[in-house]
Amino acid sequence: MPVVVTDIERADADVAAAMARLGVATVHEAQGRTGLMHQRLRPIYKGAAISGTAVTCTLPPGDNWMIHVAVEQCQPGDILVAATISESHSGYFGELLGTSLKARGVRGLILDAGCRDIRELEELGFPVWSRSISAHGTVKETLGDVNVPVSCGDEIVRPGDVIVADDDGVVVVPRQDAAKVKAASEARLAKEEASRARYQAGELGLDVNDMRGRLAAKGLVYMTQAEWKART
């Protein structure tokens, strides 16, 4: 039975909003290298960086009806996550739906299928991460679900989770972990800032990270070209 769940619990809005600045790579590292969607999800234009709370929906092949249903469930600060139940490259989303979502304060769309009107969406300033770019139109015949857990980009997204998306891809942070992951991300960034200064000054990662002893212990051997040729 297709359902729309209407009263999902969202991650804290301020925490969710703050994650965009931290970046996908950092957030994914800070939660133990989990939650990163498959690299097939790419931004339709470069430079967007967003974060917000997930509203989810599932889409039958070539059918975008449930996006219309999902729009109504969105609030300002949300990001819509639209998963398909079978690989599909039709253009499920375009400028009119982008206009509608933007009018509701939605920050962007994660779409594991095709997107169209990409120039218009860039002009509108409504970012989409999609699997393909395709103009092929969709029908409105078959139901799916809104605000149930979905598998999008090979990751589980539950309604209310935090989504972070930028030029590196898309990561999902479980709702209940959001504050903890935000703090861990900030700590990681601070540490990287310190390392960056050392790298800029010409120090090597081998020394910044104290790797030489462990490399030798694993058996790494340095040799001259002449020595190498003698072996082979």
In the region spanning residues 93 to 152, those forming contacts with a second copy, defined by CB under 8 A, are: 94-97, 99-100, 103-104, 112, 114, 116-119, 132-143, 148-151
Site size for a second copy (CB under 8 A): 108
CB of 67 to a second copy, least distance (A): 8
Angle formed at CA 77 by CA 138 and CA 112, multiple of 5 degrees = 30
CB of 165 to a second copy, least distance (A): 11
Which of 14, 40 has the CB closer to a second copy?
40
For 21, the token pair is 């600045």
Among 190, 213, 218, 230, binds a second copy (CB under 8 A): 218
Q: What pairs with residue 52 in β-bridges?
A: 163
Q: Report yes or no: 145 and 58 within 8 Å, Cβ to Cβ.
A: yes
Judged by CB under 8 A, the chain residues 17 through 56 that form the site for a second copy are: 23-25, 28-29, 32-34, 36, 38-39, 42, 46-47, 49
- Count of CB atoms within 10 A of residue 199's CB? 12
Q: Report yes or no: 59 and 148 within 8 Å, Cβ to Cβ.
A: no
Q: Report yes or no: 43 and 195 within 8 Å, Cβ to Cβ.
A: no
Judged by CB under 8 A, the chain residues 63 through 92 that form the site for a second copy are: 63, 65, 67-69, 71-72, 83, 85-91
Element (H, E) at 179: helix 178-200
CB of 53 to a second copy, least distance (A): 14
Judged by CB under 8 A, the chain residues 143 through 202 that form the site for a second copy are: 143, 148-151, 154-156, 166-169, 171, 174, 176, 192, 195-196, 199-202
- Count of CB atoms within 10 A of residue 17's CB? 17
* Separation of alpha carbons 193 and 122, rounded Å: 32
Among 76, 123, 183, 223, binds a second copy (CB under 8 A): 223
CB of 163 to a second copy, least distance (A): 14
* Separation of alpha carbons 164 and 24, rounded Å: 6
CB of 124 to a second copy, least distance (A): 10
